[in-house]
C-alpha cells in the first residue's frame, strides 16, 4: 500500500499495514449426532480458503478438547492446544443451527470458557435451520460476543430449510446466492480483521 505524503508535513509517515493473510477460524457450533453443521461449515471454509487474504482453521466443537473448561488443563494437554488455536485466529466465522430459538449449549460452553481469545477480533455468522434459517441464534450470539469485546459484522450467511439446499456431495444446489452472501461477509471480516490486527499490534487491547 502506498501513502501520499504532504510536502508541507515534516513528520515521517510509516505504512503499518500487515499484508499477511488473516487466520480465520471457522467454528462448527453443533455437536449433535447426525448434525448438518459439517456440511455447511466445509462449504463455507472452502469459500474462505479460496481467497488470497485468508487461511482457514476448521474448528470442530465435537473434538474432545473443546469440552474441557479453561484452567483445568496443564501445558501441552489437548485443551491448552485448543485455546491456542482460538487465540491464534485473527477472525472467526461461527456456523450455528438454531435450537429452541437460540444457539447450541456446546457453543455457549466454548465461548464462556475463553475470554482473551475473542477480544478485539471480528466474528461473522453462518446460520442454518428451518423457516428462520437460524437467524434467531445469530441475534442471541451478538450480545454475547459484544460482552467479550469482539466485533460482530453486520452481514450473515443463512440457509433456510438447509437440508434441501445441498446435494449429496455437500454442494449448494443454487450457489449464486449463497456464494455472494459468503463473499460479502468475508469481505467485512477481512476489513475488520486487518484493522483490528494492526490495532492490537500497535496498542494492546485493554478491557
Distance CA 91, CA 117 (A): 10
pLDDT score recorded for residue 16? 57
Q: Could you tell me where the DSSP H helices lie in the chain?
A: 37-49, 78-88, 105-112, 135-147, 175-202
Half-sphere exposure in the Cβ direction for 140 (13 Å, CA)? 18
Q: 131 CB contacts (<8 Å, ≥6 apart)?
A: 160, 161
Q: pTM value?
A: 0.89
Q: Architecture of 22-202 per CATH?
A: 3-Layer(aba) Sandwich (3.40)
Q: Residue 134, exposed/middle/buried by CB under 10 A (0-12, 13-18, 19+)?
A: buried
Distance CA 19, CA 15 (A): 11
The tens place of each residue's pLDDT in the chain, 207 residues long, gives 333 434 444 444 445 567 899 999 999 999 999 999 999 999 999 999 999 999 999 999 999 888 776 556 666 677 788 999 999 999 999 999 999 999 999 999 999 989 999 999 999 999 999 999 999 999 999 999 999 999 999 999 999 999 999 999 999 999 999 999 999 999 999 999 999 999 999 998 886
Q: How far is residue 85 from each of residues 104, 114, 153, measured CA to CA in Å? A: 21, 12, 21
pLDDT score recorded for residue 8? 41
The three three-digit cell numbers of residue 70, written as one number? 479453561
Distance CA 135, CA 27 (A): 17
Amino acid at each position: 500500500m502506498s501513502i501520499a505524503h504532504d510536502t508541507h508535513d515534516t513528520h515521517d509517515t510509516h505504512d503499518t499495514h500487515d499484508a499477511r493473510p488473516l487466520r480465520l477460524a471457522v467454528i462448527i457450533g453443533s455437536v449433535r449426532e447426525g448434525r448438518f453443521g459439517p456440511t455447511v461449515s466445509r462449504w463455507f471454509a472452502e469459500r474462505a480458503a479460496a481467497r488470497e487474504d485468508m487461511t482457514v482453521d476448521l474448528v470442530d466443537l465435537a473434538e474432545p478438547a473443546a469440552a474441557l473448561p479453561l484452567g483445568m488443563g496443564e501445558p501441552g494437554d489437548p485443551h491448552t492446544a485448543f485455546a491456542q488455536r482460538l487465540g491464534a485466529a485473527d477472525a472467526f466465522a461461527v456456523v450455528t443451527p438454531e435450537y429452541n430459538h437460540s444457539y447450541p449449549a456446546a457453543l455457549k460452553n466454548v465461548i464462556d470458557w475463553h475470554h482473551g481469545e475473542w477480544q478485539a477480533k471480528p466474528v461473522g455468522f453462518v446460520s442454518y435451520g428451518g423457516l428462520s434459517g437460524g437467524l434467531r441464534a445469530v441475534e442471541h450470539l451478538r450480545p454475547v460476543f459484544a460482552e467479550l469485546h469482539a466485533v460482530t459484522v453486520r452481514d450473515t450467511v443463512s440457509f433456510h430449510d438447509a437440508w434441501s439446499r445441498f446435494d449429496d456431495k455437500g454442494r449448494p444446489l443454487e450457489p449464486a446466492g449463497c456464494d455472494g452472501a459468503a463473499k460479502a461477509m468475508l469481505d467485512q471480516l477481512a476489513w475488520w480483521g486487518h484493522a483490528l490486527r494492526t490495532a492490537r499490534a500497535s496498542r494492546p487491547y485493554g478491557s
